[in-house]
Amino acid sequence: MPPAKPKKEPNFLDTVYAIVRRIPKGRVTSYGAIAERAGIRLSARMVGWAMNAAGSAAKPVPAHRVVNSKGLLTGKHHFATPTLMQELLEAEGIEVKNDQVQHFDKVFWNPPLPKKKQ
């Protein structure tokens, strides 16, 4: 019997993508909220970098659901077309005007803290 493979610790991208994959359809969250849940509280820019690389992830990452802390579509230029991010959000029922999510406080999803192991 071959030895068991050592369990791989999740890296930064794995952690961020796991959080983003949990964002429900029709909801958005912010780079900062993801950074806080990932344990890198002051690194919202690093989350933005991760979203820019999301297209090459092994499993799909709904990066269109990640906006800045005011609900602005600051990452829209990293999509195939400048309007694709908005189109994807609108297809999920999220209203966007002038590159800003409307009713941001109602559609904002705050990533929950991980459940503690007992």
> How much of the chain exceeds pLDDT 90, in percent?
73
Predicted confidence (pLDDT) per residue in 63-116, tens digit: 999 999 999 999 999 999 999 999 999 999 999 999 999 999 999 999 987 665
Kindly indicate the confidence band of residue 7, based on its pLDDT and cuts at 50, 70 and 90: low
Predicted confidence (pLDDT) per residue in 13-62, tens digit: 999 999 999 999 999 999 999 999 988 876 898 999 999 999 888 899 99
Burial letters for 7-32: b for 16+ Cβ neighbours within 10 Å, e otherwise?
eeeeeebebbbbbbeebeeebbbbbb
Q: What is the pLDDT of residue 114?
A: 66
Neighbouring CB atoms inside 10 A of 95's CB total 13
C-beta separation of 109 from 23 below 8 A: yes
